[in-house]
Amino acid sequence: MGICNNRNIIITGAGGGLGRAYAIALAVEGAGVIVNDIRREAAEAVVAEIRAAGGKAIANSDDITSMTGAAAIVKAGIDAFGDVHGVVNNAGIVRDRMFASMSEEEWDLVIKVHLKGHFCIANTLVKHWRDQVKAGAKVDARIINTSSGAGLQGNIGQSNYSAAKGGIASLTLVQAAELGRYGITANALAPAARTSMTEGPFGAMMKKPEDGSFDHYAPENVAPLVVWLCSPLSAHVSGKVFEVEGGKLSIATGWKTGPIRDKKARWNPAELTDVVDTLIAESPKPQKVYGT
């Protein structure tokens, strides 16, 4: 018996890297897996691997960035397994460029795949789960989003990606606050692992060790948390952003109101220098933007 028996989970971008690791780990724990990837052959290869090991999976290559595509993905899962109980929003791309040199197309495409892609499929599923609740069913559903350290701290050369991933972290908080009434939890991941998106800038640092020691950046290290978040065991946890790297696990604390100075009247612009400098000195030092 696995901890995800009788659970059916959609994973986007599951044809390789982190998504593939999640799909295989979920199948091992009994889940029916909808392996979504625009690369149909990659999705089918992962499905074949899961089925060869005795697991349940189907391949899907519909577009996550449109409501039509999202509806087709959800329908495929329901048709194959009877229902869908969660989504792992994992698909993503990068178009790295320094901000001053970034094109409109590079900005729009990254925002579309990451931020809109997260919206379309989650919104489609939420309506499905809400309808079930209204019909008297008990729902125990999961939204698992993918943010990034770049979304939490920022990263030089990735203003588009950082903005999208920061938006996803905030989206997760709102989803958790709004959707708990329907039996839906929403959490996010900020994983550090070896994937096609990290091969360029972090390829040397993240390469697999040749001496057989612990592979710190293996995508499989992130999968146990994803499996747990998809399972009934995590029903009490929502609105969290988990940072995962190797064997390390933490929960990001996020933005919160810092020290306050209240004049009880309107500030004069000229007097704000000392006030702001004092507030900065009294505030916790933020983590540095990556690359600085």
Q: Which of these is catalytic: 147, 161, 231, 240? A: 161
Contacts for 171-176: CB closer than 8 Å, 24+ residues apart: 171/115, 171/118, 171/119, 171/145, 172/143, 172/145, 172/147, 172/239, 172/241, 173/239, 173/254, 175/122, 175/143, 175/145, 176/238, 176/239
Three-state DSSP class for residue 229: helix
In terms of DSSP bridges, do strands 141-146 and 184-192 run parallel, antiparallel, or are they unpaired? parallel
Rounded CA gap, 217 and 173, in Å?
A: 27
Q: Which of these is catalytic: 22, 147, 162, 165? A: 165
Can you read off the two tokens belonging to residue 119? Answer: 């919206």
Rounded CA gap, 12 and 119, in Å?
A: 13
What is the per-residue DSSP string for 66-124?
Answer: SHHHHHHHHHHHHHHHS---EEE--------B-GGG--HHHHHHHHIIIIIHHHHHHHH
Three-state DSSP class for residue 257: coil
Q: Which of these is catalytic: 61, 147, 148, 159? A: 148
Taking alpha carbons only, the member of 230, 223, 253, 228 closest to residue 184 is 230
Phi, psi torsion values for 250, nearest 5 degrees: -150, 165
165 flagged as catalytic:
yes
Percent of residues in the chain assigned helix, strand, coil, to nearest 5 = 50, 15, 35
- Catalytic machinery residues: 148, 161, 165
